[in-house]
Amino acid sequence: MAIQVSTLARHPGVRTEEQISQLKHQWSVYQRENSLKTTAQRELIVDVFLRGSSADTHVSIDELLALVRARNARVGYATVYRTVKHLLDAGLAASRQFGDGQTRYEVAGSESRHHDHLICQKCRLILEFEEPEIERLQDTVATRLGGFKVMQHKLELYGLCPKEQGVSGGQCPGDDAQKPEPRVARR
Partner DNA sequence: CTAGATGCAAAAGTTTTGCAAAGCC
Partner DNA sequence: GGCTTTGCAAAACTTTTGCATCTAG
Examine residue 58 and tell whether it contacts DNA (CB under 7 A): no
Site for DNA in 67-106 (CB under 7 A): 74-79, 81-83, 85, 101-103
Give the C-alpha separation, 82 to 61, whole Å.
11
Q: Closest Cα partner for 153 from 104, 116, 102, 108?
A: 116
Give the C-alpha separation, 175 to 180, whole Å.
12
Examine residue 32 and tell whether it contacts its own copies (CB under 8 A): no
Give the Cβ contact number of residue 42 at 10 Å: 20
Using the rule CB under 8 A, give the single segment among 1-9, 24-32, 63-71, 106-114 that binds its own copies: 1-9
Give the C-alpha separation, 139 to 153, whole Å.
11
Site for its own copies in 127-146 (CB under 8 A): 127, 129, 131, 133-134, 137-138, 140-142, 144-146
117-132: string of b/e by CB count within 10 Å (b at 16+)? Answer: bbbbebbbbbbbeeee
Amino acid at 150: V
CA dihedral 87, 47, 15, 32 (to 10 degrees): 50
In the complex, least distance from residue 183 CB atom to DNA, rounded to whole angstroms: 4
Compare residues 48 and 125 and give the one whose CB is closer to its own copies: 125
- Strands 126-129 and 103-107 turn out to be unpaired
Compare residues 62 and 128 and give the one whose CB is closer to DNA: 62
Compare residues 77 and 129 and give the one whose CB is closer to its own copies: 129
Binding residues for its own copies (CB under 8 A)? 3-5, 8, 95, 97, 99, 118, 121, 127, 129, 131, 133-134, 137-138, 140-142, 144-162, 165
Binding residues for DNA (CB under 7 A)? 35-42, 60-62, 74-79, 81-83, 85, 101-103, 180, 182-183, 185-187
